[in-house]
């Protein structure tokens, strides 16, 4: 059974399980939207005293913080007890492109499990990597709250509720993502 679950999951299973998570959250009285936790963390830090956006009763959002605490545990369990027998299988085209910009996609578990490139995440303080991780993180945090949601809130929850605003947000996600993936990152990685 463990061996079966440990295989990389087919995308249809993954998509179904994500909706199951959303169902459970709704049933429990919450909702599926992870980026609001970033706002809650700011509120806990006292930002609400000075800035309206963070001036709300963050205790109403404890359930969501507990949810992401669970996600941390889940990541730990999955990697350590449900690990796949081989690294993430990335397409040849992507592998070739990444090789051309100095990123090697692990082909055996000895090289890595294929979740994040060690060239970046294994050397986070080298200048370009530090720039990508911090500015990238900043853009995610700024953009997600500006748009009022991230992938979970808009692409999954919002589109499931047939919200046109969420469709616009997802279009924005792709404008940004495509610009970064095609125009900016290849140059950044070869600096």
Subset of 75-104 contacting other proteins (CB under 8 A): 75-79, 82, 84, 88, 90-91, 93-94, 97-98
Out of 109, 152, 190, 191, point to the residue binding other proteins (CB under 8 A): 152
What is the rounded distance in angstroms from the CA atom of residue 48 to the CA atom of residue 18? 32
46 lies in the site for other proteins, by CB under 8 A: no
**What is the rounded CA–CA span in Å between residue 31 and residue 157?**
8
Q: Find the shortest distance in angstroms from Cβ 127 to other proteins.
A: 13
Residue 116, phi then psi, degrees to nearest 5: -130, 150
Shortest reach from residue 191's CB to other proteins, in Å: 14
Min. distance of Cβ 101 from other proteins in angstroms? 10
Number of H helices, E strands in the chain: 10, 0
Shortest approach of other proteins to residue 48 CB, angstroms?
9
Give just the sign of the alpha carbon dihedral 125, 128, 133, 139: positive
| Residues 99 to 128 in contact with other proteins, rule: CB under 8 A | 105, 114-117, 120-122, 124
DSSP state, residue 28: T
Cβ-contact 95, 105 below 8 angstroms: yes
- Residue 37 interacting with other proteins (CB under 8 A): yes
Site for other proteins in 129-148 (CB under 8 A): 130, 132-148
Measured CA to CA in angstroms, residue 65 lies from 32, 69, 123 at distances of 12, 6, 29
175 binds other proteins (CB under 8 A): yes
Site string for other proteins, 7-26 (x = CB under 8 A): -xx-xxxxxxxxxxxxxxxx
């Amino acid at each position: 059974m463990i061996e079966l679950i440990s295989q990389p999951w087919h995308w249809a299973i993954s998509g179904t399980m994500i909706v199951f998570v959303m169902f459970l959250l709704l049933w429990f009285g919450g909702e599926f939207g992870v980026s609001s936790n970033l706002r809650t963390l700011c509120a806990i830090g006292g930002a609400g005293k000075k800035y309206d956006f963070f001036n709300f009763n963050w205790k109403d959002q404890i359930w969501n913080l507990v949810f992401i605490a669970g996600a941390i545990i889940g990541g730990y369990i999955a990697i350590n007890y449900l690990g796949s027998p081989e690294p993430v299988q990335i397409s040849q085209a992507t592998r070739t492109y990444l090789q051309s910009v100095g990123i090697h996609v692990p082909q055996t578990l000895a090289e890595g499990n294929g979740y994040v490139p060690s060239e970046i995440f294994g050397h986070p303080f080298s200048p370009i990597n530090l720039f990508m991780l911090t500015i990238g993180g900043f853009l995610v945090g700024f953009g997600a709250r500006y748009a009022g949601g991230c992938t979970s809130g808009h692409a999954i929850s919002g589109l499931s509720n047939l919200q046109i605003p969420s469709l616009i947000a997802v279009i924005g996600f792709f404008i940004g993502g495509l610009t970064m993936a095609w125009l900016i990152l290849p140059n950044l990685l070869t600096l």
